[in-house]
Structures are given as structure tokens and as C-alpha cells.
A and B are shown apart, each in its own frame.
Chain A
Amino acid sequence: MSAQLPNEARRVALAGLQLADSSLPIGRFAHSNGTERWLSENPSASSTELEQLVSVSLTEAIAPLDGAALNAAHRAETATELLELDALLTAHKSASASRAASQSCGRQLAQLAQRLVQDELLTDYCALVDSRQSEGNLAIVEGVLARATAIPAEMAVLISLRSAASGMLSAAVRLGRLTPSLAQVSLRTLAGSVDEATTIALATKVGEWHSTAAELEICLLASGREEISFFAS
């Protein structure tokens, strides 16, 4: 076996692929981010309509809040700054299902991250998450981890938004409403939306965070009250 390290570009690409990997064990599969509820309320929705839902969620809800938060976390210099961003992000999440999903996945990623890379800021921030002084929202943890593994902010935001889209589509697959191959076709079709959402996330400053996909927000506010639910959110 060669002891040589991969070159820088490949190393960054590998780190990015790992962050994007759906097998990352952080509980993403248990959350549909409102998709389940939306599907049950739209029993005859086509794959095109589902794509529209994902697209609007990305550009109106996820990018200007979680995407923007990830970008800010990537740039933060101290654990205190991260703690403040974390609290601000929690305050912007009005739906408790959305808060729970974000924090449960984020805390798991924070635990895993410390085994993947040695980084002072990451260690300090994860200690705050571990002691529950900081909430550990997924976007914040992703931002810190991305920076620690030299993934540029733009790529990290792109990866995160793409994971969100893919998570919504795979929820539809697991509920039997979309075939796995059609989900891949949709993901491809959604490339433009992921790109646009990335631009929005990078341009949204800390004071401007917002999340306004009304339809999905209503689904998230209502989820948990659903009598039969396969996903936690």
C-alpha cells in the first residue's frame, strides 16, 4: 500500500463526497422534512409536482436559512460565534419538527465529526454541543466540519442543498410514491434549482435569514399530529 496522501484537489473532493454520502449515519433517513405530510395531502401528485415542491423548498426555505447558516458557520472564527449562529438558526425555525430534525442529525454529525478530523475549532464547538450549551443544528455542524476538512463554503452549501433534495425524494421512494430510478431523474432535473439555491444561500447575510416556503412550513407545523407517520418530520 502506498503511503502517499492523495493530492489536494482529490482530497477535498473525497471529503465532499463523504459529507454528501447518504450512508453517513446521522439519522437523515428518519426525516422527510414535510414531504410525507405533503404527499398524504396530495395523493395524486405527479413526480413533476413533487419536483416543484422540492425546488420551492430549496430556494424559498432551505437555502435562505440553513444554506445561509452553513455559509456563515464556515466563515466563523470562534466557537462563541458558532454558538450565536446556532441559537439564531434555532430561533428562525418556527416548526418544532424542523428544529428536532435539524438538531438530532446535527448532534450525531458533531459526534462523528470528531472521529473524522482533528481541528481545534471543531473540537471546541462540539464540546459546546455535547454540553448542550449550543444546539447543534445540522447546518452549523456541516459548516464547521466542511471548513475543517478544507471543503470550500460554496461546495459545502451545494452538497448540503443537494442532500436536502435527495432526502425529500428518497422519502417519496420509501413511501412508495416515486420509483428509485425516477428519483434520480428528478434529482438531475433539479440541478438548476440546487444551483440557484446555492447562489441564494451564499448571498443571504446573517441579518437576512428567512424561510418562507409556506406550503412546506404548514406541513412541518402539522407533522407530529399526524396519526400515522413513517417519518419523524
Chain B
Amino acid sequence: MLRIGIGGPVGSGKTQLIERLLPAIGEAGIKVAVVTNDLVTKEDAERVRQSGLINPDHVVGVETGACPHTAIREDPSANLEAIDNLERSCGPFDLFLIESGGDNLSATFTTDLVDYWIYVIDTAAGDDIPRKRGMGIVQCDLLLVNKTDLAPHVGASLQRMREDLAVIRPSRPTLFTDLRAGGAKDVFDQLRKDILFADLPA
């Protein structure tokens, strides 16, 4: 069983990424479950449950209290329990996608919880975001610079972001995405390349 974390600031596109990945994951015959971490409501869990992209029983929302980053790093026990409960009621899964509650740039996932993690940032939050060298951006296994469609409207230079990221993440992958318009095929291909799906049919 493989566990992938998805982190990033509020509204950057984490849930959208899940919605884009689910069809490709389903087509590949991977049995997947989704765990969302919501601050105040179970909104994200409800949204994924009602998306029609996944068996609603395979989606669970975890209330993380007033500290979203604690639940993915210092004390992931609520998420581990949710994973355990899902497997007890639905049998083993091939893959868990765990969406963190939106947080600041220094949120990171512990390997007690995930095997691999994706960090999603939003071009509209400013093209200087990479330069701020938040731990999430520096340490994640895969960085998504999302909402590329919005860059021209907010005066964000994708070229500048590319150059900065080449320095900050010289050897780790970064993808530029427009998750609202497009699918997430390149993200799925990257996951295939980086982690265990290698044995699955292409």
C-alpha cells in the first residue's frame, strides 16, 4: 500500500488535483481511497464523495483540530487511524491520497504518514513564492505550480518561477499545471515514474 500526501496553501488546488487524478488512477486499475483534512467543516470530503469519481465509502474527512500541519507532521495519528479504519471496513487499498488542510509554506509531511508527497502552489499568490524557500516547496517529492492560466492576469512571470525553482530544487521534479482546464496526465505519469506503479500496465 502506497500513501501520497498532498499539501499546499489554502486554495492552491489540492482537491482539484485529486479530482483530476482519480480518473487516471481508476483506469489504471488502482484501488484508491481519499483522506481529506478539513479545518472547520467536512467540505472537501463531501466534495470528493459527491464527485462521482470514486466510491463515496472510500472517502473520509478527518477533523484535525486547530492545527492542520500538526496532523501531517508532529502527530499524524488521526490520519493513521482514518487509514486503518478504512482498511478495516473496506479491505486493503493500493493507494491512499491524503489531502492536508490548507496551511502555510512551511508545512511538510512526516514519513510516518506518507511515502511520497506533492506540494501545490498557486501562481496567483505571487511569482516570488519559490524564492521564499518554504520547507514545503524545498522538501516535497513533487512540486506543482498550479493555475498557470492565471499568471498573466496577476503579472506573475512563469519564466522567473522556473529559474528560481531550478536553483531551489535542482534535482527534484516540478510541474506547471492548469488543473482547472486540463487533466493531470503529466502528474500521473510523474507519479508512475517516481513510485511503485512501475509494475502496472501502461
Contacts and interface: CB of A to CB of B under 8 A. Distances in A.
Contact of A30 (B40, B41, B71, B80): B71
Nearest to B88: A132
Given A107-B81, A174-B66, A175-B66, A27 B75 contact: yes
Interface residues of A, number: 22
A29 interface: yes
Contacts of B112: 25
B108 interface: no
Interface of B is mostly: loop
Contact of A25 (B41, B64, B66, B75): B75
Contacts of B103: none
B77 A23 contact: no
A37 interface: no
B77 A26 contact: yes
A205 B186 CA distance: 63
Interface of A is mostly: loop
Contacts of A230: 39-40, 65-66
A232 B65 CA distance: 7
A29 B65 contact: yes
Interface string B29-43: 000000000011100
A108 B67 contact: no
B81 A228 contact: no
Contact of A108 (B40, B63, B70, B80): B80
Given A27-B81, A104-B81, A232 B63 contact: yes
Contact of A228 (B40, B70, B78): B40
Interface in A153-178: 171, 174-175
A229 interface: yes
Interface size on B, as a range, is 10 to 19
Contacts of A104: 77-78, 81
Given A30-B64, A30-B71, A230-B65, A25 B40 contact: no
B23 interface: no
A105 B65 CA distance: 14
Interface string A1-43: 0000000000000000000000101111111100000000000
B183 interface: no
B67 A174 contact: yes
A231 interface: yes
A29 B66 CA distance: 8
A25 B74 contact: yes
Contact of B65 (A31, A107, A132): A31
Interface of A: 23, 25-32, 104-105, 107-108, 132, 171, 174-175, 228-232
Interface of B: 39-41, 63-67, 70-71, 74-78, 80-81, 88, 112
24 contacts: A23-B74, A25-B76, A27-B77, A27-B78, A29-B65, A29-B67, A30-B63, A30-B78, A104-B77, A104-B81, A105-B77, A107-B81, A108-B77, A171-B66, A174-B65, A174-B66, A229-B40, A229-B63, A230-B65, A230-B66, A231-B63, A231-B65, A231-B66, A232-B78
